[in-house]
Amino acid sequence: MSQLLAKDAFLTVVRDTPLVSIDLVVKDAEGKILLGYRKNSPAKGYWFVPGGRICKNETLDQAFARITLTELGIALKRETAILLGLYDHIYTDNFANVEGIGTHYVVMAYAVELSTAALSLPKEQHSDYTWMSATELTQHAYVHPNTQAYV
């Protein structure tokens, strides 16, 4: 797996290229979807599904296992998930809040069903978590439109 870039180098990447990422549409036994309240830009101040970037020289399977472990506390195999599709997420801001630099993600969204007891949810990216039905999610003013598109 590749090492993380320094902040300035990563900002150059964000300015000049799209990022490739995986989003996790985690459903419980009742069909409710896990959302985290974003602490960081982009999408700061919105409910959003967990996910993360794919690193250089990291296979999709490696990335999926790492992202599920980091975001959910449990490493999952990609073949246990259902690919929902590919999505563009284009933001006018960036992780460093530098004016004039937007962020473009090409996202692979995967649906997974998990027991809530299996999860160990970190607080680095999200200050709080909630479960919403698809109807609640699509009607909530602070669920990001990119997350609403998954349902």
How confident is the model at residue 120, as a pLDDT?
79
Neighbouring C-beta atoms of residue 110, cutoff 10 Å: 24
| Tokens matching residue 100 | 């004039």
Instruction: Show the domain range for 117.
Output: 7-148
CATH number of residue 128's parent domain? 3.90.79.10
**Structural domain count, the chain:** 1
Beta bridge partners of 79: none
Determine whether the annotation assigns residue 125 to a binding site.
yes
pLDDT tens-place string over residues 113-150: 997 766 778 777 788 899 999 999 999 999 999 999 99
Determine whether the annotation assigns residue 51 to a binding site.
yes
Do 150 and 34 meet the contact criterion of CB atoms below 8 Å apart? no
pLDDT tens-place string over residues 64-94: 999 999 999 999 999 999 999 999 999 999 9
Mean pLDDT, residues 89-106: 96
Does any domain span residue 2? Answer: no
Does any domain span residue 28? Answer: yes
Does any domain span residue 71? Answer: yes
State the pLDDT confidence band at 1, using cuts at 50, 70 and 90: very low
Q: What angle do CA 111, 84, 95 make, to 5 degrees?
A: 80
* Dmax (CA) of the chain: 43
Does any domain span residue 1? Answer: no
Determine whether the annotation assigns residue 30 to a binding site.
no
Global confidence as pTM = 0.92
Q: What angle do CA 150, 94, 73 make, to 5 degrees?
A: 55
Strand, coil or helix: 31: coil
Does any domain span residue 134? Answer: yes
Which H or E run contains 137? helix 134-139
How confident is the model at residue 124, as a pLDDT?
79
